[in-house]
Structure 1
Amino acid sequence: MFCNQCEQTAKGIGCDKIGVCGKKADVAALQDLTVYALRGLALTALKKGDSSNNLGHFTAKMLFTTLTNVNFTPEDFQKFINEIVAHRKALDVHFASGPGNFEPAETLEGLIAQGEAHSIKNFDTDDDIRSAKQLLLYGMKGLCAYADHAAVLGQQDSSVYHFIYTGLAAGYDEQDRDLQAWLGLCLKCGEVNLRAMELLDTANTGTFGHPVPTEVPLGHVPGKAILVSGHDLQDLYLLLKQTEGTGINIYTHGEMLPCHAYPELKKFEHFYGHFGTAWQNQHKEFPEFPGAILFTTNCIQKPQEVYKDNVFTTGLVGWPGLTHIGPAKDFTPVIERALAQPGFTDTADKGSVLCGFGHNTVMSVADKVIEGVKAGSIRHFFLVGGCDGAKPGRNYYTEFVEQAPEDTVILTLACGKFRFFDKKLGDIGGIPRLLDIGQCNDAYSAIQIAIALAGAFECGVNELPLSLILSWYEQKAVVILLTLLSLGITDIRLGPSLPAFISPNILNILVDNYDIKPISTPEEDLKAILG
């Protein structure tokens, strides 16, 4: 196997025996084959002129399954690959060779062998072209995650799906592309992702209301319990509905924390608080949770035996041996497991954190923000966010926030915030110094806040007293970076390490054109930014 799509890839080069995420060689091969099969479907859809949202959403879902920490079940990928090919053949367009003519093997072993023949190692012999192709593919995996989240709640745009087809078909569509053309596709991916994130924002806020500032308990109360991880608001809502009157309290984990701020979710009295921190701490935290655990989207790790029987998956998430809740979303098995577990028997007050500062909330106090900047009480804004992970070096983000001067405001989103989410930083003129914008899925909010502030100050985003200090782990972070670059945003600090799939020449291009910098130390970076 070979996989280098995440930040923690082995030796900073690539996982070649087993993924640091727990992905085995058979699943790695099947994921590569899923991508290859999707290229054939994309070529066919483009040639047929198919613009149906059903096929587009299916394509996005299938590419989403190959994103880090989503699905680890070989049999699922066998089913996915056969479904992809069936959809391709239903379009009744024929190709003489290549992915448009791909025939899947009948056995799982045969599919694995086919996948090994289509490894990403074989993308190109030119290092820079291969790097650009990988940047595009990984960006599209993130794009497809956001497109799927939006489509689940009924928000779709056929132009998003058309680009997904175009990106997947690239390299097999008989068009010669030089390095600039490939990088142009990468930036287009970022541009299209902004539309996908806009759809997702509309879907979430249109369904569940605009987030409002909310104090979320970090402790627990007596009672049976279910812990919900991942990103999916609709799954959480359905679970809340099905657990009404059961005596079960619902807790969030990881990226689900911001769900407490949505009015339509806040209405449930048994939606209590938040348990644990970021995804990589599951093995340490989950043995302490006395109830059932539900994964709704990516972020699952190999469950330990001590709590494995308590874990359930739904949506695109899969792990061998776990009970999966299908499309009907009947969470009865999860509920029954929670009722059979001891639950919490005491009350624990572990403080609280404040969330709910989406673009609607922040812009409602924009006049105070602008006044604070003009009066000099707010010197600078830092967006410190992104993915968290287990690799050393991420304490940088904690120390950066701790050392940021008291006349600065910290905006944050995604699970990177769990390095400092419970810090009490005070406020400036009634505006909290730590503003939790939401999930990684809410990056659109951060962009809208920046654009609105730039409009208020009659300047460009790059001229604002705003610095982006980003951490990355998986492919949604990759496509958010592409979105920022497509908007012309410069001077981004990225860490804790640079992507292994970025060649030295591609990195030089990003540095020269966008002034991207690797993080150094909090002291040095703060001095460089603030002077």
Structure 2
Amino acid sequence: MKRILEFFGFSQSSNSAQERKLPMENMFCYQCEQAANGGCSKIGVCGKQPEVAALQDLLVYALKGIAFWADKARANDKKDAEIDRFMIDGLFATVTNVDFDAAAIEKLIRQAAALKDKAAALAGPIAVDIPQAAQWQPAATQGELILQGVQHGVKDPALDADVHSTQQILIYGMKGYAAYAHHALVIGLEEDEIYAFTHRALAATLDTSLGLMDYVNLCMECGRINLVTMQLLDKANTDSYGHPVPTPVNLGTKAGKAILVSGHDLRMLEELLKQTEGKGINIYTHGEMLPAHGYPELKKYNHLAGNFGGAWQDQAKEFANFPGAIIFNTNCIQKPAESYKDRLFTWGLVEWPDVPHIDGWDFSAVIDKAQDCEGFNDAPGKEILVGFGHNAVMSVADKVIEAVKAGDIRHFFLVGGCDGAKTGRNYYTEFAEKVPEDCVILTLACGKYRFNKLDFGDIGGIPRLLDIGQCNDAYSAIQIAVALAGAFDCDVNELPLSMILSWYEQKAVAILLTLLHLGIKNIKLGPTLPAFITPNVLNFLVENFNIGPITTAEQDLEQILG
């Protein structure tokens, strides 16, 4: 071991940042849309360093080991809440733009090792071969853990390429629903079916007897489990904060001190609103927090002032102009610029080296920082509408159906998904602008920032742009589609509805698997296809679901509308 460590530039006894440095060719990550040249091999485009990539790979490997034992234990009706919840947090921590801190990932790895042993004890003796991941033990130092991570990276040349592709789709889908399960658990709801599948599916990636169609079927089931998870989160959010209602959101500023909240977690926003009430501090949303303004129990706080900025990829240039404290509560963080790093905080599973992290629910450090900052002058801006969840839309379903039957509404377009910095995303702006005036656009997730400030007008009082919410609110879009199909006595695929989706990271993979599980076809996906999908797997999706890449706005509209 010492000779190997020295070859890679490590000292067995030291753990300095310099000695943790990995040779650049050892990194490989292609789980997000912006992966360079089919996979980041030197440094993540997201900012992920090679040593963090290796530790995240090791964490996933460790989770597979836990899953093997936990799945065996469940076969004997034995389970453990600590193990179940850790699996969700461990997967979520490896999602793109969540945890960039090597020390934080190391802590999770060591927890995983302890819980693997706990799961093995729960399972008891078994009469089958035990895979290496289920026997793995963590090295003593962080440097040695990084080397272990290099040995268990994403690439696996021993596997058939198509089998490996479907395994990765499965793992990324699980990472996606893990984010939603985590948000629901923060509010207090969980579902055992999600835990059971997580153990079974991750354990299946260690089973060499399984073939391509076994993993295809697991991917389809992953889509079903994501639907269960999104439904759970929808219930958690609406039970706690009410169903979203159409609400204007100001894009300007109010005079006073300010805190900007970026992410997805509504419970964290609520706690911050409670702790800042009456202190002269205005709270602004950023990115995927924009839909929070539509929830009655959140919008009742007068100091929830408005939305600042756009999608996650613009934070470096936008945050420099925010004269207050900034806090991330879920994925989407980028490498902080020095212009605002001293005002930045993280919470939950989000971490960045040398950025203060808030553990628990005491936000006094964030509040104190906001009080020390300059704050905003009063500068009201444009208003946009949010809050068109399934409850709000279905409350006027009769008017929508009547408009369709009368020919006033010709077609619905779901144009949404993740935004990103890679070229080609102007397509979604152009598409929305070119949608005919007798058509309605449904949108969700941060992809809406490509066009949500444009004025689309209305059709008989029905807004032509309906902001359904966050990425997890794909559940609302599905509910709306199913209800319309029922009203028109047809299949969802027979509705005048087309899905034009943009993807960036693993939650988008989970949502796509849900749509495939539901049998929804003719989806257009962009701006580029995932690097982890092989040609044969892509052909399977095309042949069975007619998934196609976006082309140009004009060509796609002509093909859809005829």
Compute the TM-score of the two structures, normalised by the length of structure 2.
0.93
Match of 2:493, as an amino acid?
N
Distance 1:96 1:161, change over 3 A: closer
Asked if residue 495 in structure 1 is aligned to residue 533 in structure 2, the reply is no
Stretch of structure 1 that moved more, 379-388 or 119-128: 119-128
Match of 1:227, SS state, is: strand
Match of 2:365, as an amino acid?
P
Match of 2:30, as an amino acid?
N
Match of 2:400, as an amino acid?
V
Asked if residue 253 in structure 1 is aligned to residue 286 in structure 2, the reply is yes
Partner of 1:115: 149
Match of 1:433 among 464, 468, 474: 464
Partner of 1:25: 50
Asked if residue 141 in structure 1 is aligned to residue 166 in structure 2, the reply is no
Would you identify which runs of 4 or more consecutive aligned residues in structure 1 move more than 2 Å?
50-55, 93-97
Distance in 2, Cα, partners of 1:451 & 1:152 = 29
Does the 8 Å contact 2:224/2:517 carry over to 1?
yes
Distance in 1, Cα, partners of 2:469 & 2:416 = 10
Partner of 2:91: 63
Match of 2:374 among 342, 357, 366: 342
Match of 2:372, as an amino acid?
A
Distance in 2, Cα, partners of 1:268 & 1:33 = 43
Distance in 1, Cα, partners of 2:160 & 2:56 = 23
Match of 1:330 among 362, 387, 394: 362
Does the 8 Å contact 1:414/1:439 carry over to 2?
yes
Match of 1:155, SS state, is: coil
Give aligned pairs, total: 527
Asked if residue 90 in structure 1 is aligned to residue 102 in structure 2, the reply is no
Stretch of structure 1 that moved more, 49-58 or 188-197: 49-58
Match of 2:371, as an amino acid?
L
Aligned-residue offset at 1:84: 1.0
Match of 1:288, as an amino acid?
N
Partner of 1:40: 65
Does the 8 Å contact 1:51/1:162 carry over to 2?
no
CA deviations on 1:66-122 (whole Å, 9 max, x unpaired) are 000000000011110111111121231467551111100110000000000000112
Does the 8 Å contact 2:413/2:499 carry over to 1?
yes
Aligned-residue offset at 1:52: 3.7
Distance 1:106 1:352, change over 3 A: same
Match of 1:452 among 483, 494, 501: 483
CA deviations on 1:434-473 (whole Å, 9 max, x unpaired) are 0000000211000000000000000000000000000000
CA deviations on 1:285-314 (whole Å, 9 max, x unpaired) are 000000000100000000001100111000
Partner of 2:196: 162
Partner of 1:126: 160
Asked if residue 403 in structure 1 is aligned to residue 434 in structure 2, the reply is yes
Aligned-residue offset at 1:123: 6.5
Aligned-residue offset at 1:18: 0.3
Does the 8 Å contact 2:131/2:206 carry over to 1?
no
Compute the TM-score of the two structures, normalised by the length of structure 1.
0.98
Does the 8 Å contact 1:292/1:310 carry over to 2?
yes
Stretch of structure 1 that moved more, 386-395 or 143-152: 143-152
Distance in 2, Cα, partners of 1:171 & 1:306 = 44
Asked if residue 316 in structure 1 is aligned to residue 345 in structure 2, the reply is no
Asked if residue 272 in structure 1 is aligned to residue 305 in structure 2, the reply is yes
Asked if residue 509 in structure 1 is aligned to residue 543 in structure 2, the reply is no
Partner of 1:152: 186
Does the 8 Å contact 1:53/1:158 carry over to 2?
no
Does the 8 Å contact 2:326/2:343 carry over to 1?
yes
Distance 1:124 1:476, change over 3 A: farther
Partner of 2:31: 5
Distance in 1, Cα, partners of 2:477 & 2:80 = 31
Q: State, as a whole percentage, how many aligned pairs show the same letter.
A: 61
Match of 2:327 among 289, 294, 305: 294
Distance in 2, Cα, partners of 1:97 & 1:453 = 48
Match of 2:155, SS state, is: helix
Distance in 2, Cα, partners of 1:296 & 1:443 = 20
Q: How does 1:475-494 map to 2 (within 5 A)?
A: 475-494=506-525
Aligned-residue offset at 1:153: 1.3
CA deviations on 1:400-424 (whole Å, 9 max, x unpaired) are 0100000000000000000001111
Distance in 1, Cα, partners of 2:457 & 2:180 = 33
Distance in 2, Cα, partners of 1:97 & 1:53 = 24
CA RMSD of aligned residues (A): 1.0
Does the 8 Å contact 1:51/1:158 carry over to 2?
no
Does the 8 Å contact 2:390/2:479 carry over to 1?
yes
Does the 8 Å contact 2:67/2:199 carry over to 1?
yes
Distance 1:96 1:441, change over 3 A: closer
Distance in 1, Cα, partners of 2:526 & 2:486 = 29
